[in-house]
Amino acid sequence: MLNENIRTIRKSKGLSQQDLAIRLNVVRQTVSKWEKGLSVPDSEMLILISDVLETPVSILIGENISEYPTENLKSISEKLEAINLQLANNKIRKRKFLQALLIILCFIILIIFLFLIRLKSPYLNWSYNNPEITVLRVNFHILEWLFVRIAPIIMIFSIIGIILIRKKF
């Protein structure tokens, strides 16, 4: 609701995102994020936005103007708190999902390595007498060769990613 109100009021005033950003002393991308609902302005910025757009804060966040200004401020702060909590929860969910993906990737790499170790590099003992089987074995050898060289790098970056994501929690 806040994002739609900012966009609608900005357009009704004939301002571009860049114009509003300059007046608020922020970058255009910040205004864009507000209007897309990817972030919300803090309370001080919300007051500045209302001044620049010449619109009460209560209308920006979608409330009717109340007779008691203290209730307005309390209502505004509660809504901002709820919005910030939702954004924080979304961010945490995304981090947990990414961390889970990286952990799964590490397990898959380990399982494939264990499988290759269990096979004891069978391409060294292959008989190349049958051309059809030889082609399959050579292709398997190419895949194994690529995996053994690329997988450790992917594994290292995955572990680093897991550690960095864990530190942000």
pLDDT in the model for residue 66: 40
pLDDT in tens, the chain (169 residues): 788 888 888 888 888 999 999 999 999 999 999 888 888 888 888 888 988 888 888 888 875 434 445 556 677 778 888 888 888 888 889 989 999 999 999 999 999 888 877 777 655 556 667 777 777 777 777 888 888 889 899 999 999 988 888 876 5
- For the entire predicted model, the pTM comes to 0.47
Q: 2-65 adopts what CATH topology? A: 434 Repressor (Amino-terminal Domain) (1.10.260)
List of long-range contacts for 69-76, beta carbons under 8 Å, 24+ apart: 76/43, 76/46
pLDDT in the model for residue 145: 83
pLDDT in the model for residue 64: 42
Coil, helix or strand at residue 63: coil
Question: For the chain, what are the domain ranges?
Answer: 2-65, 94-168
- Identify the CA nearest to 125 among candidates 143, 110, 142, 137: 137
- Identify the CA nearest to 3 among candidates 81, 66, 83: 83
Enter the DSSP assignment of 56: -
Task: Measure the CA–CA gap between 156 and 69, rounded to whole angstroms.
Answer: 56
Concatenate the DSSP letters of all residues of 77-106 into one string.
HHHHHHHHHHHHHHHHHHHHHHHHHHHHHH
- Identify the CA nearest to 51 among candidates 11, 20, 27: 20
Task: Measure the CA–CA gap between 27 and 47, rounded to whole angstroms.
Answer: 17
